[in-house]
Amino acid sequence: MSTFYVSNQIATHFKQLFFGGNWTSVDFTTSLKDVDWMMATAKINEFNTIAQLVFHVDYYIDVTLKVLQGGPLDAHDKFSFDCPEITSELDWESLKNKLFSDAESYVSLVEQLPDSKLSEVFCLEKYGNYYRNIHGLIEHSHYHLGQIVILKKMTSKIK
C-alpha cells in the first residue's frame, strides 16, 4: 500500500491544470496551443487580452515560486497585469514558454514539500498558510483559464 502525500496530490492537481488530465478536461497547454500572437493580443471591449491573462497568471506563479525556492514574497497587485508588448509570434511564444517553465518548476517544488510545511505560515500571518496559497493559486489560475477560453472563442469569430 502506498503512502498518501498531500503535497504530491496538490502538485498533481496543479500540473494537470497546466499540462492536461484534470477533472475539467481544460488545461493551459491545450487551450493556448492554437492561439497565435494576433489572437493573444486582440482587444475586445474593455476585457483583458489573452496575453495579459497569461502574464497575470504567470506573475503569481513566479512570485510564489520564488518563495518556494526560499526567497521573499515580492508581489504587487498593481504590476500583475503589466504584460510586455507582444508584437510577434516570437514574443507570444516567449510569454507562453515562461508560463509553462514556471509551472513545471512550481510542480517540482510543491512535490518536494513535506506535508507538514502546508500548515506553516506563508511569509506573513495575513497570507495564511502554504496550503491556502498553493490552492489559491490553482483556483486563481482556473478562473483565468475560463476567461481565456471565452476570449479565444470570441477572438476566433472576429479573425
Q: Give the whole-number percent of the chain exceeding pLDDT 90.
A: 93
Q: What tens digit of pLDDT does each residue of 62-105 get?
A: 999 999 999 999 999 999 999 999 999 999 999 999 999 999 99
Number of domains in the chain: 1
Task: Give the predicted TM-score (pTM) of the model.
Answer: 0.95
Q: The CATH number of the domain where 56 resides is what?
A: 1.20.120.450
| Residue 1 resides in a domain | no
* pLDDT tier at 156, thresholds 50, 70, 90: confident
DSSP labels, 64-126: HHHHHTT------GGGTT-PPP--SHHHHHHHHHHHHHHHHHHHHHHHHS-GGGGGSB-SSGG
Counted residue by residue, the chain has a size of 159
Domain residues for the domain of 102 are: 6-158
- 40 pLDDT more than 70: yes
Give the cell for residue 116.
Answer: 507538514
Domain contains 86: yes
Mean pLDDT for 95-124 is 97
Burial class (CB in 10 A: 0-12, 13-18, 19+), 13: middle
Give residue 48's pLDDT. 97
99 located within any domain:
yes
159 has pLDDT over 70: no
Residue 51 in contact with residue 92, Cβ under 8 Å? yes
103 belongs to a structural domain: yes
Q: Could you tell me the sign of the dihedral formed by the alpha carbons of 112, 143, 81, 89, in that order?
A: positive
